[in-house]
Amino acid sequence: MSPTPWLVAVTAVAVVSDAMLLPFYPQFFAERFGVTAPSHVGAYLAMSCLVVMLALPGWARLARRAGTLRLLIGTQVLAGGLSLSCAVVTSLPWFWGLSLAMLVAKASYLLVYPYLMHFEPQHRHTTLIGLLSVVVHAGGILGAVIGGLVLEHWQAAQVFRVMAVSDALQVAVCLLLLRRGRAPHAAPATPPAPGTSGAILRLGVVMLLFYFSAYLARPFFAQYWALASGLPGEVLAGAVFAIPGGVAVALLALDLLGRRPGGEAIILPLAIGLTGLLLQASGEIAAILAGRLLFGWALFRVTVRLEVRIFQLSTPARYASDFSKIHVFQGLGVLVASWGAGRLVDAQGLASPFLVAALGFVLCALAHRLLLARAEATPARPTDPVSART
């Protein structure tokens, strides 16, 4: 039995856990600690991105010595304990410290992504990346719904108890794979091709702009929807927030049924995403819903096509290292978006993040044309699949 479904399941559980509070941090801080300033929410989300971004390269180095699955067992046990601590702490400074430490431990699950690529043949990379992208989006749907239900019917602290359960499930899956001998061998050492390092950094710049734009409107979307629609309820807000995830699931199903090649162009998807952002900024219910659909289509296409490039430009022995470098750029984009969202909302209102994100998509398209056109004109290097199992 292949370990791939189990490792995808680990990723799914982690994503659901991470997504539960994402649309509702303003409500969470207001209910739990009486803090209502948008700038506080933005600062917390920015710091969350920073600690994950800084932790991942360290976890990647440790994984080379201890093994990815063994590392995950230890870090997710630690994350579960810290989650339970966050559920009972009543001091805001202590909450910051404990929750950020929890995120440092949780960051290790991101290593599952390059770990999977080690033993999947290159011709399956696009399908696997599409599947993982859908897992992220679908996890966002389920996480937002669960988070909305918890906040609507129970105390906000219960979210962290649910997170601890998800950490326990991840530990169980890793133990099962190790016990059954399903952990694959590491890939053989492969020297990087000339210019690969520079291409990875150029791709990172494009990723930074894309992730900044994609995440800018997320922290305050639930508040924006409630104000624009006049419809109460966290569950409904979570469902609208999760529309892009539903679009991603539908697109992956259509791609698999049609057996169509994924393509590499991102300019058209970025233009469609820009249109979706502008529709959402209009404040009309129908336009917001249509904008979420277009935005979801663009997010899925661009995310998959950019992430395929990571593994085309890398080699199996460098997957974890190059992925962690790219994740630093992604994290910087999310960090700046999280920090800037609160200040934008403070200064310009809840619709302003959509407009700035649309400008960010324009800059992303320009950067892609200037920095990656030559790399995309060069055929991708084949990588040797690793099929060995322990």
Q: Tens of pLDDT along 105-148?
A: 988 888 887 777 776 666 677 677 767 777 776 776 677 777 77
The verdict on residue 382 lying in a domain is: no
Model pTM score: 0.68
Q: How many distinct structural domains can be found in the chain? A: 1
Under the banding of pLDDT at 50, 70 and 90, the label for residue 260 is: low
The residue among 14, 286, 19, 375 whose CA lies nearest residue 174 is: 14
Instruction: Give the tens place of pLDDT for each residue, 306-352.
Output: 887 877 777 766 776 777 778 778 878 877 887 788 788 878 888 88
Lowest-pLDDT range, 96-110, 134-148, 160-174?
Answer: 134-148
Sign of the CA dihedral running 209, 214, 217, 219: negative
Question: What is residue 389's DSSP assignment?
Answer: B
The pLDDT mean for the chain works out to 78
**Signed CA dihedral, 328, 334, 336, 339: sign only:** negative
Query: Is position 389 within any domain?
Result: no
Using the predicted structure, report yes or no on whether residue 378 has a pLDDT greater than 50.
no
Q: Looking at the predicted structure, is the pLDDT value of residue 151 above 50?
A: yes
What pLDDT is recorded for position 386? 30
**pLDDT band at residue 64, thresholds of 50, 70 and 90?**
confident
| pLDDT range class, residue 379, cuts 50, 70, 90 | very low
Instruction: Looking at the chain, list the stretches that DSSP marks H as alpha helix, in order from N- to C-terminal side.
Output: 4-19, 25-33, 38-66, 68-88, 92-106, 112-118, 125-153, 158-179, 196-215, 221-229, 234-241, 243-258, 267-281, 285-313, 319-348, 352-377
**Separation CA 329–CA 333 (nearest Å):** 6
> How confident is residue 197, by pLDDT bands cut at 50, 70 and 90?
low
Angle between helices 4-19 and 125-153 (to 10 degrees): 40
Percent of the chain with pLDDT over 90: 15
Look at residue 88 in the predicted model and tell me its pLDDT: 85
pLDDT for residue 188 = 43
Question: What's the rounded mean pLDDT across residues 150-176?
Answer: 80
Q: What DSSP string runs through 281-311?
A: HT--HHHHHHHHHHHHHHHHHHHHHHHHHHH
Are 230 and 123 in contact by the 8 Å Cβ rule? The answer is: no
Residue 139 belongs to a domain: yes
Q: Look at residue 183 in the predicted model and tell me its pLDDT.
A: 56
- Per residue in 261-277, pLDDT (tens digit) is 455 678 899 999 999 99
pLDDT at 360 over 70: yes
Q: Is residue 179 part of a domain?
A: yes
**CATH number of the domain that residue 175 is part of:** 1.20.1250.20
- Is 390 within a domain? no
Judge whether residue 385 has pLDDT over 50. no
Residue 383 located in a structural domain: no
Residue 310 covered by a domain: yes
Task: Provide the pLDDT for residue 374.
Answer: 56
pLDDT band, residue 259 (cuts 50/70/90):
low
Instruction: Show the domain range for 361.
Output: 4-377
Beta bridge partners of 184: 389
The answer as to whether 384 is a domain residue is no
Task: Return the minimum-mean-pLDDT range out of 90-104, 187-201, 261-275, 279-293.
Answer: 187-201
Contact between residue 171 and residue 77 where contact means Cβ atoms under 8 Å apart:
yes
